[in-house]
Amino acid sequence: MKIRPKRLQKGDTIGIIAPSSPPNLKQLNNSLAFLDELGLSYQMGKSVENVYGYLAGNDEDRLEDLHEMFGNPDIAGIICAGGGYGSARYTDKIDFQLMNEHPKIFWGYSDITFLHTGMNLYSDIVTFHGPMLASDVGKSTFSDLSRKMFQQLFEPMELHYSAAISPLTSISGGVARGELTGGNLSLLASGIGTKYEVDTRDKILLIEDIGEEPYRVDGMLNQLRQAGKLDDAAGFVIGDFNDAEPKKRKVSLSLDEVLDHYIGNLGKPAVKGFKIGHCEPHFAVPLGSEAQLDAENLSLVILPGVE
């Protein structure tokens, strides 16, 4: 069992960091009213407004922000401003023992998947795959359901996902139980062969992505297949694959055909259609919490992510 971080209380201070690319500062500023609504104060990381090419400051500055927020006893949780690219550049320098000794809420997705995987492996803590401040919260499209998902940080609650939230389709039937792991497919694939490759043994693997054509998804799933990650998994939660239509080729396999080939043929419980990922609403989930996927009745239940 992973360590569940302590729940938030109104009046707590959360740290805001940009572990990857520079966030949209206007949208970040817009998001702060939502933190006020939650009754939270906030402290900005020093590199949040930095721009170093496609990175939010150099690797040392972004790593320092991450360490400082985990080590600071006045910070109750950490929410990422945005993703983009770059968190994997310094993962091998992260003090995972610091996070294990000071477990606290860590929330983000997309490029943040590399950090989630590292923390789940080496800090043994539950982390949260959910909408980020500049990328999602600060936009006019931020939905009521996405807002409600933040309540799981204030009290331990079981999460229930059914076809009432979005249309779900079973790729392969059965019931799977295990820790929920995974996130952005391209980041999971890029971790293969490193110390930070996702551990899927007896776990329920979540995958999602954006802007990846079917042939690209095919290549990434094939990489996971050849690394044994699909065979090891107990089941599959297929999140949102935003903008996955073929563009380069007039004739293409569909995304559904690719998923059927790699996941349907395994005969393990697998369901697609979850609004988890680069989408609205965005159903936020705790990675490392125990979950049950029922591919017969099309439901996902996840145990609480906080203490």
- Residue pLDDT, tens place only, 234-258: 999 999 999 999 888 889 999 999 9
Distances (CA, A) of 239 to 139, 214, 252: 21, 15, 21
CA 129/CA 97 separation, integer angstroms: 21
110 as an active site residue: the answer is yes
**C-beta of residue 20 within 8 angstroms of C-beta of residue 53:** no
Judge whether 154 lies within some domain. Answer: no
**C-beta of residue 1 within 8 angstroms of C-beta of residue 126:** no
Query: Of the candidates 88, 120, 144, which is a domain's last residue?
Result: 144
End-to-end CA distance of the chain: 13
pLDDT tens across 54-102, in order?
A: 999 999 999 999 999 999 999 999 999 999 999 999 999 999 999 999 9
Judge whether 307 lies within some domain. Answer: no
Q: Are residues 94 and 203 in the same domain?
A: no
Q: Are residues 111 and 245 in the same domain?
A: no
Query: Of the candidates 144, 177, 206, which is a domain's last residue?
Result: 144
pLDDT tens across 106-161, in order?
A: 999 999 999 999 999 999 999 999 999 999 999 999 999 999 999 999 999 999 99
101 as an active site residue: the answer is no
Q: Are residues 82 and 185 in the same domain?
A: no
Judge whether 3 lies within some domain. Answer: no
pLDDT of residue 250: 81
Helix, strand, or coil (residue 1): coil
278 as an active site residue: the answer is yes
Angle, vertex CA 125, rays to CA 38 and CA 100, nearest 5: 105
How many structural domains are present in the chain? Answer: 2
101, burial (CB in 10 Å: exposed 0-12, middle 13-18, buried 19+): exposed
Residue ranges making up the domain that contains 48? 13-144
Q: What's the distance, CA 280 to chain centroid?
A: 14
Q: Are residues 34 and 94 in the same domain?
A: yes
Task: Give the pLDDT mean for 24-44.
Answer: 98
Would you tell me how many other CB atoms lie within 10 Å of the CB of residue 148? 12
Confidence class for position 178, pLDDT limits 50, 70, 90:
very high
**What's the CATH code of the domain at 137?**
3.40.50.10740
Would you tell me how many other CB atoms lie within 10 Å of the CB of residue 246? 14
Q: Which of 20, 110, 186, 289 is catalytic?
A: 110
**What's the CATH code of the domain at 208?**
3.50.30.60
Q: Which of 278, 282, 289, 290 is catalytic?
A: 278
Judge whether 152 lies within some domain. Answer: no
Strand-by-strand arrangement of the 175-184 sheet: 159-162, 299-302, 290-294, 175-184, 204-210, 235-242, 270-272, 169-172
Judge whether 2 lies within some domain. Answer: no
Q: Which of 179, 208, 212, 290 is catalytic?
A: 208
Query: 261: which residues sit within 8 A by CB, 6+ positions away?
Result: 218, 253
pLDDT tens across 281-305, in order?
A: 999 999 999 999 999 999 999 999 9
Q: Are residues 37 and 107 in the same domain?
A: yes
Q: Are residues 27 and 75 in the same domain?
A: yes
